[in-house]
Amino acid sequence: MRRLIIADRLIDAVHAAPIAHGAVLIDGERILDCGRATDIGRPEGAELIDATGMTVMPGLIDAHVHLAYSGTPHKALFRSEHAEMSYPAVSLRAAAYARETLRHGFTAVRDMHAPGGTIIDLRDAIDAGHVEGPRIRACGRGLSVTGGHMDQPGWADHTSFRDLTHPCDGPDGFRRGVREEIKRGADFIKLNTNAAIHGRPDRFCRLEMAEDEIKAACDEAHEQGLKVASHTLGEQPLAATIVNGVDCVEHAHFTDDRIIELMVRQGTFLVPTLLVNERNFDFTPEAQGISQRHWEWLLASREAKWATLAKARAAGVRIGCGTDAGFMIPHGSMSWREIALLAEGGLTPLEAIMAATATNAELLDLDAGRLEKGRLADILIVAGNPLDDLSLLSDPANLRVIKGGRDIRP
């Protein structure tokens, strides 16, 4: 079936400016044509979607979510969920979160770690049409050294979990870990190369993985055609992460000119996750159950992330848009704020939208994110002009979401 959208303006995420009086012609699940409405005309038999007064743009993409997590801000609740929920229960709840994310205009997400690798199964269920949700790129479980950022201690010694995290040690261990996640169905590999030190006033960041472990994991993933992303904070551990082959660094708040230059030279993506850091300040340290030292570290990160964003933009680093939804952030309803924060940090509104569409699609190896002939018809129609007011993206009542050429129930 052919459908023709005619709107006041078209943001194709290809050109550096919106096109006035634009049109998108959809054929089945793909875009058949796109451009000025006068050039496209009225192909016979196409159903007309009249978007007068509205903007047509690519569906949004969130490059950093955890659909397996609820978004609770309290560390103790976050931990107890791991002990109380079975993996099927986690998957079923994640299906509701996925639906909520899609309803808020996000037609694709990158899932950055799930206990049991459960989000791989959700991805497949969505692709098969069993449940409705965004397209998912999933890493399965993130790889971490034993006792590292994603394999945290603190459980009683009689407690054991199966497949909650994926600890690996040594270059061979990480190679095997990569192979196991790929066997499970991962679309990319998540590492935890770098973690925070909350207990030391002189240092914030520590390299958890050895450099030969990072290199072995990246070599194996690249050999099999997958990208590698890593949780990072900054400084020398971030530099070591980039040098040893990681394609996308998450958070990465603490940088200097040399690190920014490394990102440019290596073509590394940066997903600065501004929202999750800002979100900490919606709660007191007591409400989160964290130490004073941890709070000070959050304050330092808050400062540093703006400086990094400004330097990265000026240098031409590829900046993606990811919220960390599921970790302190509910799914869907606040996600638009990451785009607004990118704009607060110095990107133009169009650049911020490009980060959440074209750049994220490149990061996810997804054939969407731009309104271009041949791409998937993942489309958002917004009442009004989001370039004047990004908060228009906050309310599903302003949005008509089309995924693969089909309307999503509001």
Can you give the binding site for Zn ion, defined by CB under 5 A?
A: 112, 324
Nearer to Zn ion, 60 or 329 (CB): 329
**What is the spatial distance between Cα 59 and Cα 56, in angstroms, rounded to a whole number?**
9
The tokens 């992460």 sit on which residue? 241
CB of 249 to Zn ion, least distance (A): 12
CB of 162 to Zn ion, least distance (A): 22
Three-state DSSP state, 26: strand
Nearer to Zn ion, 212 or 281 (CB): 281
**What is the spatial distance between Cα 369 and Cα 403, in angstroms, rounded to a whole number?**
11
Q: What is the DSSP string of 262-320?
A: HHHHHT-EEE--HHHHHHGGGS-HHHHT--HHHHHHHHHHHHHHHHHHHHHHHHT-EE-
Nearer to Zn ion, 9 or 279 (CB): 279
Nearer to Zn ion, 57 or 112 (CB): 112
Nearer to Zn ion, 220 or 324 (CB): 324
Contact between 107 and 130 under an 8 Å Cβ cutoff? The reply is: no
Question: In sequence order, what are the beta bridge partners of 31?
Answer: 26
CB of 395 to Zn ion, least distance (A): 26
Residue 376's contacts (CB-CB under 8 Å, 6 or more residues apart) are 29, 30, 31, 366, 367, 368, 404
Nearer to Zn ion, 6 or 189 (CB): 189
Instruction: Please state the three-class secondary structure of 183-230 as a single string.
Output: HHCCCCEEEECEEECCCCCCCCEEECCCHHHHHHHHHHHHHCCCCEEE
CB of 277 to Zn ion, least distance (A): 12
The amino acid sitting at 307 is A
CB of 324 to Zn ion, least distance (A): 4
Nearer to Zn ion, 23 or 364 (CB): 364
**What is the spatial distance between Cα 215 and Cα 229, in angstroms, rounded to a whole number?**
13
Nearer to Zn ion, 24 or 276 (CB): 276
Tell me whether residue 44 is exposed, middle or buried, using C-beta atoms within 10 angstroms of its C-beta: 0 to 12, 13 to 18, 19 or more. Answer: exposed
Nearer to Zn ion, 112 or 361 (CB): 112
Instruction: Please state the three-class secondary structure of 96-130 as a single string.
Output: HHHHHHHHCCEEEEEECCCHHHHHHHHHHHHHCCC
CB of 275 to Zn ion, least distance (A): 11
CB of 325 to Zn ion, least distance (A): 9
CB of 35 to Zn ion, least distance (A): 38
Strands ordered across the beta sheet of 269-271: 166-167, 143-144, 189-192, 228-234, 248-254, 269-271, 318-319
CB of 65 to Zn ion, least distance (A): 8
Whose CA is closest to 253, among 173, 199, 311?
311
